[in-house]
Structure 1
Amino acid sequence: MQHRRDLSDRPPFAVRNREGFALITVIWGLGLLTLLGATVIVGARYRVRTAQADGSVLASAAAAESAVNFAIASILSSAPNTSFPTRCRMPGGEQADIVVEEEVGKIDLNAASQPILERFFTALAQDKTRGARIAQSIVHFRRPPPRKEAGNQTTASDNRTTQTNAANDAKISSFSSILELDQIDGMSPTLLRSAMRYTTTLSGRPQPIPEAMTPALRLVMGLELGRANRRRPALPGHFTVRAHVRANDGSLYIREALVSIGATSTQSYTIREWRRGDIVGGSMDALRAREPVQACIKF
C-alpha cells in the first residue's frame, strides 16, 4: 500500500514534460540575451574605433592643409633660411613633410616642344610608339582651330574682331588644367596619374629648367640626378605645395595646392586648385624612418 501511495504522489508525465520544456526555453532565452549583449558590445566597440579612425583622418587632413598654408606663409616671409623640402612637427603632434615644386621645372602641356613631350611620355609609358602618339595628340589638342573668313572685304573693326576671336580660340584650344590629359588618345588612368606629378600649364617654357626639376622628373627624362639640395622658391612664380602629414597613430594624409605667388599686384598669392595627393612608392617608409626635429609653428 505504501508503494502505491508513492507512485500516486509523483506528478503526471505531461506536467513533467511542460516543466522540462520551460527550463529549456529559459536556457535558450538566456543564451539569446547573452548573444545579443555580446553583439551590442562588439558593435559599440567597432563604432568607437571607426569614429576614432574618422577623427584621425579629419585631424590629419586639417593638419595637411595647415602645413600647406604654413609653406605659403614661409615663402612669402623674408626669412633667409626658408627652403624646401622641409620636415617639422605640427601643433597637434603630426609629422609634416613639405615639398614645394616650381612649375617652371615641369613639362608644360601648352608650351613644351613635341620632342620633349615624346621623350617624356615614352619614358612614362615604356613604349616609344605610344609616347609619340600621345605627344602628337597633345600638340594637336593645343593647336587653335582654323579661322573662317566671311569674305575678302575687311575693315578695321573686322580686323579687331578677328584678332579677338583668334585669341579666344587659342585660349579655348589650349590646356587649362593638367586633368584635361584624360582627353588625349592613348592616355590610360595609370599613365595619367603618373604624368600629373610632372606636368603643368603655367610655366610657358618649351622645356623645363633643369635646376628646378625634381629628382624624380630628372630620372624620367634620363638626366643626371645630381644633388637634391634644399631650395628657396624664386618669386614671383607658380608652385605646387605638397604636404605629407603622418598622425601619431600612423595614418597618412597628403594634400596639394597649386599656388601662384606674387603673380599679380593685387594679391600676394592665389590658390588655383586644391588636390588630394597620392602616396608615392616609398613615401610611407621614408616618413616612418624620419623624426621631426623642430616645430613648424613656434609660439
Structure 2
Amino acid sequence: MLVAPARHRGVPNRPPPGLRKRHGFALITVIWGLGLLTLLGAAVIVGARYRARAASADGSVLSSAAAAESAVNFAIASILSPTPNASFPKKCRMPGGEQAEIVVEEEVGKIDINAASLTTLERFFAAAAQDKALGSRIAQNIVAFRKPLPRRETANQTASSGNQTAPTNAANEVKSSGFSTILELDQVDGMSPALLRSALRYTTTLSGRVEPAPEAMTPALRLLMGLDQGRPELRRPTLPGHFTIRADVRASDGSRFIREALVSFGASSAQPYTIREWRRGDIMGGSASPLPAGEPAQACIKL
C-alpha cells in the first residue's frame, strides 16, 4: 500500500514556472491595453476640441465675410442716396456688432494699365517694386502686352454658279488687345505675387487717363508717385463714374475679412449701377488706418 509523502511545514505551494510566465505576460498585456485605450481616448477628446474650435473659427470667418459684403451693399445704397452725408471713408458698426471701415476709391485716381504712359508706369512700378530696373522692365512689358495683335482671317464662299470658289474676306483684321481686368497683371513677365498684390490696389482699366487725377489719388498712391501725401478728406463720390468699394470688417473675436467690389454707376440707363468684379482684399501696409479697439458709437445701418 502506497502512502503519499508528508508535506513539510513552512514550505509554500508555488505554481509551476511556466504558469508564472503566462501570468506576467497577461499582466503586461492588460497594462499596455489600458495605456492604449487612454491614448485613444485622449486623441478623441483633443480631436473633438480641435474640430469644435475649427468650426467656430470657420463660422466666425463666414460671419465676417457676410458682414463685409453687406457693408459693400450699404456703401452702394449710400452713394445712390440723395442724402448729403454719404461721405467716405466711413467707420461704423454693423448690425451684428462687427466693426467696419468702408473706403470708396475713384478709378480716375488710379494708374490705368491700358492708357498710362510708359513714364507713369515706370515711375509707379519702380516705386512699388523698390527696384528701378525691374519697374522699367515691367512697364515695358505692360505696354507690349496691350498692343493690338494682327490676325489674318480668310473665308471662302462657293460661287452661286459653277464649281469655282471666290475669297470673300482675305483682309487683315486687327484684334484689339490690352487688359480686360487688372487681375491679368499676373501674365506680365517680371510680376511677382507680392508685387501683384501691391499693384492691384492702385491700378485700373477704366479711367482712360494717361496719368491719374491728382485730386482723386489716395495718400498711399501719392506717396508712391513722389507727390505730396496730403490728408485724406471725406469725399462724396461724384456720379456717374467707376469706383472700388472696399469694406474692412473685424468681428469681436478678432476675425477679419476684406471684401472689394468694382462698381460702375450710371454706365447703363437700365440699371443705376453694375458690379463688375468681386474681390477678396488683402491686409496691406498701404491700407487705411487700423480699426480702433473699441466699438464705434455710430451704427452703419439705423434699424
Pair in the same fold by TM > 0.5: yes
* Aligned counterpart in structure 2 of residue 21 of structure 1, from 15, 20, 25: 25
- 1:92 CA displacement: 1.5
Instruction: Write out aligned runs for 1:88-237 (5 A).
Output: 88-145=92-149, 165-166=173-174, 169=175, 172-237=176-241
Query: In structure 2, what is the equivalent of residue 50 of structure 1?
Result: 54
Q: Does 1:275 align with 2:283?
A: no
Distance 1:126 1:282, change over 3 A: closer
In structure 2, stretches of 5+ residues that fail to align are 155-168
Q: Please say which structure displays the higher CA radius of gyration.
A: 2
Equivalent residue number for residue 69 of structure 1: 73
- Alpha-carbon distance between aligned partners in 1 of 2:198 and 2:138, rounded to the nearest angstrom: 14
Structure 1: gaps of 5 or more residues: 151-160
Larger proportion of helix: 1
Question: Distance between the aligned counterparts of 1:5 and 1:295, measured in 2?
Answer: 96
CA separation in 1, counterparts of 2:137 and 2:31? 75
SS at match of 2:264: strand
Task: Give aligned-pair identity as a percent.
Answer: 72
Q: Higher strand proportion, which one?
A: 2
SS in 2 for 1:23: helix
Q: Is the 8 A contact 2:111 2:212 kept in 1?
A: yes
Q: Secondary structure at the match of 2:290?
A: helix
The structural deviation recorded for 1:221 is 0.5
Q: Deviations over 1:50-101 (max 9, x none)?
A: 1111111111111111111111111111111011111111122111111111
Query: What is the identity, as a one-letter code, of the residue corresponding to 2:82?
Result: S
Distance 1:50 1:147 in 2: 53
Where 2:226 maps in the other structure, the secondary structure is coil
Q: Paired residue for 1:81?
A: 85
- Structure 1, residues 129-155: CA drift from partner, whole Å, max 9, x if none? 3323322332232222358799xxxxx
Structure 2 match to 1:246: 250
TM-score, with structure 2 as normaliser: 0.85
- Cα offset, 1:199, TM superposition: 0.6
- More displaced, 72-81 or 17-26? 17-26
1:174 and 1:283 mapped to 2: Cα distance? 28
Aligned-pair distance for 1:164?
Answer: 12
TM-score by length of 1: 0.86
Aligned residues of 2:75 and 2:245 also touching (Cα < 8 A) = yes
Matches within 5 A, 1:260-299: 260-281=264-285, 286-289=290-293, 291-299=295-303
Deviation string 1:225-263 (CA, Å, 9 cap, x unpaired) is 122111111111111111111111101111111111122
Q: Which amino acid aligns with 1:41?
A: I
- RMSD of aligned C-alpha atoms? 2.8
Equivalent-residue separation in structure 1 for 2:206 and 2:19 (angstroms): 92
- CA distances 1:31-62 after superposition (whole Å, capped 9, x unpaired): 22222111111111111111111111111111
TM-superposed CA distance for 1:110, in Å, is: 1.4
CA distance in 1, matches of 2:240, 2:300: 24
* Mapped contact 2:262–2:275 kept (Cα < 8 A): yes
| Distance in 2 between residues matched to 1:234 and 1:100, nearest whole Å | 11
Query: Alpha-carbon deviation of 1:275?
Result: 0.7
